[in-house]
């Protein structure tokens, strides 16, 4: 399955395979190949959902992943999923697939919204002109999926002589190098056009050819570049658009849709800084601060942690451990202050899970509505100031869910420079959902703590981003984005996304919390833990925090959310003033990334950068925390 981001590939995938890949209303969500199984008329198929790609010529790493699948040729048929509303813009990719000799079925998805906007598409006529099956669908509702399965079952790779005419110079160059190129699943004609555009993967193929042939091809490419007074891509795009216009002539009729005017007006409101920023603040306040911080971290956590665990489970566990286990060292492993059950399970289930759950509910609602792409356009100007583009909203937003996942998603950014900047900011100034939720809960009764935290972390984000962008050379990234339609979130989608993410998070988090408890127990038994606490107590006291806060920072070495859960414990005991709470939340937010995120940083950016970043972040977090404490004291402010 191939196609632009946000055309409903994942929805079609789910309907074909009866399984779940995150159905997101934001481009770039599917960042890896997702495979499922499907059976049609007794025959088993493997269905692969690829990352979003706009054409055969990839720009980003995620597009390159999908194109490699096409180059490998391990498929019976390729489903090109398009948004029916934007058929004119997406059909050139179909032309490329046809010309490359790929067995393709064109899937006109989101037909319901195309009809709402007044578009009428003559599907039968389009099918005849393209000489391939064309199937209209509404993937999210399952409409047209049965017919799509029939088309897959009965597919016959017919006319392979489809041809798109380009300029004479491009045609002559293509004809000269095509016979020299190796045989792949894509036609030599398609490879020659990619070679003329100096596609990285195709140039690697050419480099493996005998030296004389490789030099001849390179010479033709250089000669064409000298002959043309514009990029070769321009000729390719022009030819594809010309052919698209010929194919679609008389196929699409346009009328005034019943929802277009209202949606366009709402888009302008959400994207304009004058109206979009207040709306964003309202979403953050009611959606995340009140719902996640107030309800999730307040009501649910108070009930589970204070009532269920505090009154019943913890005393029961401590009592049974004392009765059944005679060895104090094993008793301390299971129960007590740092026990696997009384600390690890309690933190994971009673504190972190409710916060993560409510965050994922709210995030799924916002995601399913189509608001996130509008947000990316709204803050594109701010991101450009730190060397990023609006496209970086994808990993940055995911970072508020899980920094580990978000660091992986930075590979979708176009340049190494952007990926490095995004990795630095994710490690330093983006709290994960559990950390964010607990901070909201801690600040729920003191809004000035929240204002101080937001202001400081935002300033650090902008300062470090700006500094990193100046240090790392490179051009300013361009950004353009197609806006998907605004939709009322579907309850089934929200539930499916939330429950899937909750399962994933719980499976990941509980073993790590248990492991952290065991390591803390080992540290206590061996005497390492008290020594580390004494060492951490020095910088902790230096920024105006009590000695007990050192424990939260030590916990933060294992997981950020584990550390902030420890901070929640300290706050519940009444050991922190308003000023100390602001300093502690700021320092812990800027603190070292968790072990999982650190390992992914090593994998994605290399050991040298990961260690260098960790060495910078540790003292920097305490420096910022100490500066905030100093300023509050100098100004005589008491939050």
Cα distances (angstroms) measured from residue 77 to each of 2, 34, 95: 11, 16, 15
Q: In what order do the strands lie in the sheet with 104-109?
A: 78-83, 104-109, 134-136
- Would you state the pLDDT for residue 228? 85
Mean pLDDT of 40-50: 88
Question: What are the structural domain ranges in the chain?
Answer: 9-153, 168-254, 273-474+499-634
> Taking 60 as the threshold, does the pLDDT of residue 393 lie above it?
yes
**In this prediction, what percent of the chain has a pLDDT beyond 90?**
16
Mean pLDDT of 445-461: 88
CB 558 within 8 A of CB 516: yes
> Taking 80 as the threshold, does the pLDDT of residue 485 lie above it?
no
DSSP H or E segment with residue 545: none
What confidence category does residue 81 fall into, taking pLDDT thresholds of 50, 70 and 90?
very high
**In this prediction, what percent of the chain has a pLDDT beyond 70?**
92
Q: How many CA atoms lie within 13 A of 106 on its CB side?
A: 25
Mean pLDDT of 81-98: 92
- Would you state the pLDDT for residue 136? 95
> Taking 60 as the threshold, does the pLDDT of residue 24 lie above it?
no
CA distance 87 to 100: 20
- Would you state the pLDDT for residue 257? 59
CA distance 94 to 556: 50
Cα distances (angstroms) measured from residue 633 to each of 47, 186, 346, 639: 61, 68, 36, 11
What confidence category does residue 482 fall into, taking pLDDT thresholds of 50, 70 and 90?
low
Top-confidence residue, 56 or 73: 56
Residue position matching structure tokens 């939709």: 487
Between 10-19, 59-68, 375-384, 626-635, the lowest mean confidence (pLDDT) is in 59-68
Give the 3-state secondary structure of 360-398.
Answer: HHHHHHHHHHCHHHHHHHHCHHHHHHCCCCHHHHHHHHH
Mean pLDDT of 380-402: 79
> Taking 90 as the threshold, does the pLDDT of residue 327 lie above it?
no
Q: How many CA atoms lie within 13 A of 277 on its CB side?
A: 6
Instruction: Please give the DSSP secondary-structure letter assigned to residue 140.
Output: G
- Would you state the pLDDT for residue 294? 76
3-state secondary structure at position 298: helix
> Taking 50 as the threshold, does the pLDDT of residue 22 lie above it?
no
DSSP letter string, 181-237: SPP-SS-HHHHHHHHHTT-HHHHHHHHTS-HHHHHHHHHHHHHHHHH-SS-HHHHHH
Report residue 161: phi and psi, to 5°. -105, 25
Angle 480-481-482 (CA atoms, 0-180°, nearest 5)? 140
CB 368 within 8 A of CB 493: yes
> Which tens digit of pLDDT belongs to each residue from 112-151?
888 887 889 999 999 999 999 999 999 888 899 999 999 9
DSSP letter string, 473-489: --PPPP---PPPPP-PP
CB 493 within 8 A of CB 371: no
- Would you state the pLDDT for residue 25? 35
- Would you state the pLDDT for residue 30? 39
> Taking 60 as the threshold, does the pLDDT of residue 214 lie above it?
yes
> Which tens digit of pLDDT belongs to each residue from 239-266?
999 999 999 999 988 876 555 666 777 8
> Taking 70 as the threshold, does the pLDDT of residue 20 lie above it?
no
Strand partners, 134: 106
> Taking 80 as the threshold, does the pLDDT of residue 420 lie above it?
yes
Top-confidence residue, 33 or 120: 120
Tokens of 580: 């100390």
CB 92 within 8 A of CB 226: no
> Taking 60 as the threshold, does the pLDDT of residue 31 lie above it?
no
| CATH code for the domain defined by 9-153 | 3.40.50.300
CA distance 476 to 65: 24
CB 356 within 8 A of CB 500: no
> Which tens digit of pLDDT belongs to each residue from 569-585?
788 777 888 888 899 88
Strand partners, 120: 253
DSSP H or E segment with residue 497: helix 491-526
What confidence category does residue 23 fall into, taking pLDDT thresholds of 50, 70 and 90?
very low
> Taking 60 as the threshold, does the pLDDT of residue 44 lie above it?
yes
> Taking 80 as the threshold, does the pLDDT of residue 188 lie above it?
yes
The rounded mean pLDDT for the chain is 83
- Would you state the pLDDT for residue 477? 67
> Taking 90 as the threshold, does the pLDDT of residue 94 lie above it?
yes
- Would you state the pLDDT for residue 508? 66
- Would you state the pLDDT for residue 19? 64
> Taking 70 as the threshold, does the pLDDT of residue 321 lie above it?
yes
> Taking 80 as the threshold, does the pLDDT of residue 441 lie above it?
no
- Would you state the pLDDT for residue 558? 67
- Would you state the pLDDT for residue 90? 93
CB 289 within 8 A of CB 450: yes
- Would you state the pLDDT for residue 27? 41
- Would you state the pLDDT for residue 490? 81
- Would you state the pLDDT for residue 28? 44
> Which tens digit of pLDDT belongs to each residue from 605-618?
888 888 988 889 88
> Taking 80 as the threshold, does the pLDDT of residue 405 lie above it?
no
Instruction: Please give the DSSP secondary-structure letter assigned to residue 52.
Output: P
CATH of the structural domain 168-254, one choice from 3.10.20.30, 3.30.70.1070, 1.10.645.10, 1.10.287.1770: 1.10.287.1770
């Amino acid at each position: 399955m191939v196609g632009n981001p946000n055309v409903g590939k994942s929805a079609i995938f789910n309907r074909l395979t009866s399984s779940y890949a995150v159905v997101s209303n934001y481009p770039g969500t599917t960042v890896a190949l997702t495979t499922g199984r499907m059976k049609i008329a007794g025959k088993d198929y493997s269905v692969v959902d690829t990352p979003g790609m706009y054409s055969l010529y990839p720009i980003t790493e995620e597009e390159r992943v999908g194109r490699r699948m096409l180059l490998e040729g391990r498929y019976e048929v390729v489903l090109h999923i398009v948004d029916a509303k934007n058929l004119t813009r997406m059909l050139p990719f179909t032309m490329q697939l046809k010309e490359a000799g790929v067995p393709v079925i064109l899937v006109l998805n989101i037909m319901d919204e195309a009809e709402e906007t007044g578009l009428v598409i003559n599907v039968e006529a389009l099918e005849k002109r393209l000489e391939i099956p064309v199937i209209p669908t509404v993937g999210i509702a399952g409409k047209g999926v049965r017919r799509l399965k029939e088309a897959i079952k009965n597919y016959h790779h017919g006319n392979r002589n489809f041809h798109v005419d380009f300029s004479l110079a491009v045609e002559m160059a293509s004809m000269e190098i095509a016979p020299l190129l190796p045989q792949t699943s894509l036609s030599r004609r398609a490879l020659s056009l990619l070679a003329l555009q100096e596609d990285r993967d195709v140039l690697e193929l050419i480099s493996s050819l005998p030296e004389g042939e490789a030099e001849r091809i390179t010479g033709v490419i250089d000669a064409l570049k000298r002959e043309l007074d514009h990029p070769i891509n321009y000729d390719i795009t022009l030819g594809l658009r010309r052919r698209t216009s010929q194919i679609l002539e008389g196929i699409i009729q346009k009328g005034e849709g019943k929802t277009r005017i209202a949606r366009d007006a709402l888009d302008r409101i959400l994207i304009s800084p004058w109206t979009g920023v207040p709306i964003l603040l309202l979403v953050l306040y009611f959606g995340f601060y009140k719902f996640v911080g107030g309800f999730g971290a307040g009501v649910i956590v108070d009930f589970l942690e204070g009532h269920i665990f505090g009154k019943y489970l913890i005393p029961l566990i401590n009592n049974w451990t004392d009765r059944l286990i005679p060895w104090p060292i094993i008793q301390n492993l299971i129960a007590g202050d740092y026990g696997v059950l009384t600390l690890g399970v309690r933190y994971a289930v009673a504190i972190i899970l409710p916060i993560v759950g409510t965050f994922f509910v709210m995030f799924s609602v916002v995601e399913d509505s189509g608001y996130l792409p509008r947000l990316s356009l709204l803050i594109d100007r701010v991101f450009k100031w730190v060397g990023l583009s609006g496209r970086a909203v994808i990993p940055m937003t995911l970072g508020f869910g899980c920094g580990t996942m978000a660091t992986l998603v930075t590979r979708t950014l176009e340049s190494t420079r952007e990926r490095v900047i995004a990795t630095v900011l994710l490690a330093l100034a983006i709290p994960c959902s559990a950390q964010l939720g607990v901070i909201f809960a801690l600040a729920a009764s003191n809004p000035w703590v929240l204002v101080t935290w937001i202001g400081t972390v935002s300033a650090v984000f902008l300062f470090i981003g700006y500094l990193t962008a100046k240090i790392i050379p490179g051009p300013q990234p361009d950004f353009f984005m197609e806006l998907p339609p605004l939709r009322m979130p579907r309850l089934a989608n929200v539930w499916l996304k939330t429950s899937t993410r909750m399962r994933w998070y719980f499976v990941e988090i509980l073993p790590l919390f248990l492991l952290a408890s065991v390591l803390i127990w080992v540290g206590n038994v061996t005497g390492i833990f008290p020594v580390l606490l004494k060492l951490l107590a020095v910088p902790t006291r230096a920024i105006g925090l009590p000695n007990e806060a050192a424990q939260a920072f030590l916990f933060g070495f294992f997981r950020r959310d584990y550390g902030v859960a420890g901070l929640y414990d300290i706050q519940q005991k009444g050991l922190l003033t308003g000023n100390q709470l602001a300093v502690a939340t700021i320092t812990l937010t800027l603190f070292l990334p968790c072990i999982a995120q650190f390992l992914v940083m090593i994998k994605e950016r290399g050991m040298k950068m990961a260690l260098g970043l960790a060495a910078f972040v540790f003292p920097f977090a305490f420096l910022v925390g100490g500066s905030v404490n100093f300023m509050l004291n100098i100004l005589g402010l008491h939050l």
